[in-house]
Amino acid sequence: MKIAVYQMELVPGSPEENREKVSRWVETQMQEDAPDIIVLPEMWTTSYVLEQLDATADESSEPTQSYLSDLAKKHQINIVGGSIANKVNGNIYNTSLIFNRNGELVYKYNKIHLVPMLNEPAYLTGGEEKVETFELDGVRMGVIICYDLRFPELARKLALDGAQVLFVVAEWPKPRTNHWVSLQIARAIENQMYVVSSNNVGTLDGVEYTGASLIVDPWGEVVAKGSENKEETIKGSLNPERVVEVRKNVPVFASRVPDLY
Classify each residue of 154-173 as buried b or exposed e, where b means 16 or more C-beta atoms within 10 Å of its C-beta: bbbbbbeeebbbbbbbbbbb
Which residues contribute to the site for ligand LYUYDEPV (CB under 6 A)?
42, 115, 117-118, 146-147, 150, 170-173, 176, 179
Shortest Cβ 160–ligand LYUYDEPV spacing (Å): 23
Nearer Cβ to ligand LYUYDEPV (58/171): 171
Say which of 21, 87, 108, 111 is annotated catalytic. Answer: 111
Check if 108 is active-site. Answer: no
Tell the smallest beta-carbon distance from residue 66 to ligand LYUYDEPV (Å): 25
Question: Smallest distance from the beta carbon of 71 to ligand LYUYDEPV, in angstroms?
Answer: 24
Measured from the CB atom, the residue of 99 and 180 that comes closer to ligand LYUYDEPV is: 180
What DSSP element (H or E) covers 10? none
Output 118 or 163, the one with its CB closest to ligand LYUYDEPV.
Answer: 118
Q: How far is the CB of 32 from ligand LYUYDEPV (least distance, A)?
A: 29
Q: Which of 9, 21, 42, 120 is catalytic?
A: 42
Active site residue 17: no
Task: Report the residue number, 110 or 192, with the smaller CB distance to ligand LYUYDEPV.
Answer: 110
User: CA–CA separation, 133 vs 109, rounded Å?
Assistant: 10
For the chain, the C-alpha Rg in angstroms (whole number) is 17
The whole-angstrom distance between residue 194's C-alpha and the CA centroid of its chain comes to: 13
Nearest-angstrom CA–CA distance, 17 and 9: 11
3-class secondary structure per residue, 31-99: HCCCCCEEECCCCCCCCCCHHHHHHHCEECCECHHHHHHHHHHHHCCEEECCCEEEEECCEEEEEEEEE
What's the closest the beta carbon of residue 86 comes to ligand LYUYDEPV, in angstroms? 15
42 is catalytic: yes
173 or 240: whose CB is closer to ligand LYUYDEPV? 173
Smallest distance from the beta carbon of 238 to ligand LYUYDEPV, in angstroms? 24
Amino acid in the structure at residue 146: C
CA distance 207 to 229: 13
Judged by beta carbon, residue 67 or residue 147, the one nearer ligand LYUYDEPV is: 147
**235 CB neighbour count, 10 Å cutoff:** 16
Could you give the C-alpha distances from 244 to 43, 69, 251, 258, in angstroms and in order? 33, 31, 10, 21
Which residue minimizes CB distance to ligand LYUYDEPV? 146
Residue 86: strand pairing partners: 58, 93
* Catalytic machinery residues: 42, 111, 146
